[in-house]
Amino acid sequence: MISQVFSAQLADLVSRETGRVLGGAMLGDQPGASLPEWPVQRIVAPLLGATGPVIHETWLAGQAVLTGNSEGIAWCRAGQLLYGVIDLDEADFTATPGCSALQAASQEAYRRIFRLLDAKNLPHLWRVWNYLAAINRETDGLERYRQFNIGRQDAFLEFRRGATGNVPAACAIGLTGGPLSIAFMAGDQPAVAVENPRQVSAYDYPADYGPRSPTFSRAALVYPPGQEILFISGTASIVGHLTVHPGDVAGQCREALANVAAVLGEANRLARSTPFTLPELSYRVYVRHAADFPLVRETLAGLIGGTAEIVYVQADICRHDLLLEIEALASHALGNC
């Protein structure tokens, strides 16, 4: 089994869990902080409402891990499960007619990921965390998020991964700077993709949202030995394919959580374990404007209670009119596995 732990300092975790750490993320506005030896995605963005400048989210495996580096991907493997992180500098890629540097970097990052997974015989992407600078900026006549989507989907198709249906859970978030950073979890068994009956599937969005649709599912159920993990993708105030409650952060917060609840309902219909509930989820909430944080926190507390585990991060969302995005996960044990 694998588990996720949170800590402000890594010293105790390192001393206790050496050899069992699969990887993780370091969130916070402290770009000079040192990183541990295992693969860590550095998300340099302000934390909101936190007691310290950095939070470490770390995945622990139930067994010893193997480590490696392949084409710039730092990875750890525990049995039939792999976690990896790749950072690519857009400056290392040359824009060509019809292909921006970001598009080229995105395609190359996913190419490397798929080559690694094929080499390790762990072909199934379960969850992906994508971060890129200036996600809403328009360059060369196209928003950067849309450039990223082209590169991502081109790699999926090149490596004969479907771009619709059983695609991984994912998020794509904008930071003020830094490299294209992608963390991922993969395994030897396919995930069970979960969609939202209130929304058009992202991979079926109309062409109004760019030349290529986003390649992700609304959620995924995955099955490490003895476990059922629910990964809920970045979820925002979208009904059908349209943004709703523009300019109203409380309205968007309520709508986003209604979408999380709808995904939860679909996941429970497919799940093998006991039903997942909103209060048990571990949340990461991205808020575009720091001044909106108190209202977002108050709104969520009124909807799911004050005891849920929530990390708030100031960051940009994939559409300029979206003010926040919510992602979540939970894990249940499965008997006799």
In sequence order, what DSSP letters do the residues of 96-150 get, joined into one string? Answer: BTTB-HHHHHHHHHHHHHHHHHHHTT--EEEEEEEEEESTT-EETTEEHHHHHHH
Can you tell me the distance from the alpha carbon of 314 to that of 287, in angstroms, rounded to the nearest whole number?
Answer: 5
pLDDT score for 337: 41
Can you tell me the distance from the alpha carbon of 74 to that of 84, in angstroms, rounded to the nearest whole number?
Answer: 6
pLDDT score for 7: 76
Can you tell me the distance from the alpha carbon of 66 to that of 57, in angstroms, rounded to the nearest whole number?
Answer: 20
DSSP letters along 253-278, please? HHHHHHHHHHHHHHHHHH-SSSPP-G
What are the structure tokens assigned to 143, written together?
A: 């928003």
pLDDT score for 30: 76
DSSP assignment, residue 241? T
Taken as a whole, the chain contains a residue count of: 337
What are the structure tokens assigned to 178, written together?
A: 């830094």
Look-up: residue for tokens 């991205």?
286
Q: Indicate the pTM of the whole model.
A: 0.96
Which stretches within the chain are classed as H helix?
A: 11-17, 101-119, 144-158, 249-270, 293-304
pLDDT score for 232: 98
**Is 172 in contact with 164 (CB distance < 8 Å)?**
no
Q: Which residues are identified as catalytic?
A: 325
CA atoms within 13 A on the CB side of 222: 30
Smallest Cα–Cα separation from 296: which of 329, 327, 253, 245?
A: 253
**Is 24 in contact with 61 (CB distance < 8 Å)?**
no
Task: Please give the domain boundaries of the chain with CATH numbers for all domains.
Answer: 2-333 (3.30.1330.40)
pLDDT, tens digit only, all 337 positions of the chain: 788 887 766 655 555 566 889 999 999 987 676 777 899 999 999 999 999 899 999 999 988 999 999 999 999 999 999 999 999 999 999 999 999 999 999 999 999 999 999 999 999 999 999 999 999 999 989 999 999 999 999 999 999 998 998 899 999 999 999 999 999 999 999 999 999 999 999 999 999 999 999 999 999 999 999 999 999 999 999 999 999 999 999 999 999 999 999 999 999 999 999 999 999 999 999 999 999 999 999 999 999 998 899 999 999 999 999 999 999 999 999 975 4
**Is 83 in contact with 184 (CB distance < 8 Å)?**
yes
